[in-house]
C-alpha cells in the first residue's frame, strides 16, 4: 500500500473527495481536455462522483491509485500523479497532469519518479507502462526522462485513438533507485 509519499518539495497523497474543487479545475484545463479527454466533470459534485467512482475504488482494492500532488512550501495542490490498473493494459501505467502554472518546474518528474520507485519497492511492480497521445510532446519527453521507452502503439477498449505505448522494467529503473 502507498498511503503517502514525501519528496524534497512535494507530498503525494491519495486523492479524496476533499480534492473535488481542485480535480474539477484540473480536469477542465485545455491540456487535460486535449490530451486526456473530456470526462464531463462540469461541477464540483461531478468531481466528487468521479473521485468516488473512478479513483477511490482502485485505492481500496489495490492500495494505490491517483495521488494529489501538493507543494510543501505552501500546501498548494498542483497536479495529480498515479499508478493505474487500466483496462486494455496488461500492467499498471503511470500518469500525471498538472495545472498550467506548475508545468516546466520539475514537479511532474519529481512526483512520477518517486511514485514509480514506491511502486517498485513497496508494491513489487516489475514493469510500468505509460500511454500518451501522439501529439503530446511534453508528456513524451517526460516519459523518456523517466526512463520509459516506446514499445509501440495501442488502442484502448472503447476508444478509437491510437496512443503511444511506453514501458520500463524494474531492472532499467536504476537511475532513481
Reported as a single tens digit per residue, the pLDDT across 96-110 is 999 999 999 999 999
Taking residues 18-46, what's their average pLDDT? 96
pLDDT of residue 35: 93
Domains and CATH numbers, the chain: 5-172 (3.40.630.30)
pLDDT of residue 44: 97
> Burial of 8 by CB count in 10 Å (0-12 exposed, 13-18 middle, 19+ buried)?
exposed
Give 159's pLDDT tier (boundaries 50, 70, 90).
confident
Q: Is the pLDDT of residue 174 over 50?
A: yes
Residue-wise pLDDT tens digits, 72-101? 999 999 999 999 999 888 899 999 999 999
pLDDT of residue 177: 39
pLDDT of residue 176: 47
Query: Cα(111)–Cα(80) distance, rounded to whole angstroms?
Result: 9
Task: Provide the mean pLDDT of the chain.
Answer: 94
Q: What is the value of pTM for the model shown?
A: 0.93
Q: Which three cell numbers stand for residue 140?
A: 513524451
Query: Cα(20)–Cα(43) distance, rounded to whole angstroms?
Result: 9
CB 40 within 8 A of CB 46: yes
pLDDT of residue 171: 87
Amino acid at each position: 500500500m502507498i498511503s503517502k509519499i514525501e519528496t524534497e518539495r512535494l507530498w503525494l497523497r491519495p486523492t479524496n473527495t476533499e480534492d473535488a474543487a481542485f480535480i474539477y479545475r484540473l480536469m477542465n484545463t485545455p491540456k487535460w481536455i486535449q490530451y486526456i479527454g473530456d470526462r464531463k466533470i462540469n461541477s464540483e459534485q461531478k468531481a466528487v462522483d468521479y473521485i468516488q467512482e473512478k479513483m477511490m475504488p482502485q485505492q481500496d482494492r489495490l492500495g494505490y491509485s491517483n495521488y494529489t500532488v501538493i507543494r510543501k512550501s505552501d500546501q498548494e495542490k498542483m497536479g495529480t500523479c498515479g499508478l493505474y490498473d487500466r483496462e486494455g493494459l496488461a500492467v499498471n501505467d503511470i500518469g500525471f497532469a498538472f495545472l498550467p502554472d506548475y508545468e516546466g518546474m520539475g514537479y511532474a518528474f519529481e512526483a512520477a519518479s518517486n511514485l514509480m520507485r514506491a511502486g517498485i519497492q513497496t508494491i513489487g511492480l516489475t514493469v510500468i507502462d505509460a500511454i500518451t497521445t501522439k501529439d503530446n510532446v511534453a508528456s513524451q519527453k517526460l516519459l523518456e526522462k523517466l526512463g520509459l521507452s516506446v514499445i509501440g502503439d495501442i488502442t484502448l477498449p472503447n476508444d478509437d485513438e491510437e496512443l503511444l505505448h511506453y514501458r520500463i522494467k524494474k531492472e532499467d529503473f536504476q537511475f532513481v533507485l
